[in-house]
Structure 1
Amino acid sequence: MEQFIMYLKYYVIPFLLISTIFFTFLLLLKRIRHQYYLVYKNSIARKADSFLTEITLSKLDNVTLIQKVSEFKEAIPIHKSWCKEMLIDDMIRLKNNLKGKTAKTLNRIYKLLDLDHYSAGLIRDFRNYKKCQGFYHFQSLDYKPGISLIKKYLFHPNKIIRSNANIAYIILSKGDWQAVDTLPVKISILNTIKVMDIFHSKKIPMPENVVVWIASKNRTILKLAIMTMVFYNYRKNSAEIINLLHDEDISLKIDVIRAIRELFLEEAEAELLILFEREPLEIQLEILKTLKIIGSPKTIAFLRNRIINEPTKDLKLKMVTCLNQLDRNTVNSLGLLDQDTQKMIDHVRQLQI
Structure 2
Amino acid sequence: MRVGVIGGGQLARMMIPAAIELGVELRVLAEAEGMSAAIAAERVGDYTDTETVLAFAREVDVVTFDHEHVPQDVLHALVDAGVPVHPGPDALRYAQDKLLMREGLSQLGLPVPDWARIETPAELDAFIADHGGAAVVKTPRGGYDGKGVRVVHSAAEVAEWFATIAEDGNAGALLVEELVEFRRELAQLVARRPSGEVAAWPLVETVQVGGVCSEVIAPAPRSAGRLADVAADVAISIAEGLGVTGVLAVELFETTDDRVLVNELAMRPHNSGHWSMDGSTTSQFEQHLRAVLDLPLGGTGCHEEWAVMVNVLGGPVEGTLADRYAEAFEGHPTVKIHNYGKAPRPGRKVGHVTAIGSNLDDAVYEARAAAAVFQD
TM-score band by shorter chain is under 0.3
Structure (1/2) with the larger strand percentage = 2
Q: Report the TM-score when normalising by structure 1.
A: 0.20
RCO higher in structure (CA 8 A, sep ≥6): 2
Structure (1/2) with the larger helix percentage = 1
**Structure with bigger gyration radius:** 1
Q: Report the TM-score when normalising by structure 2.
A: 0.19
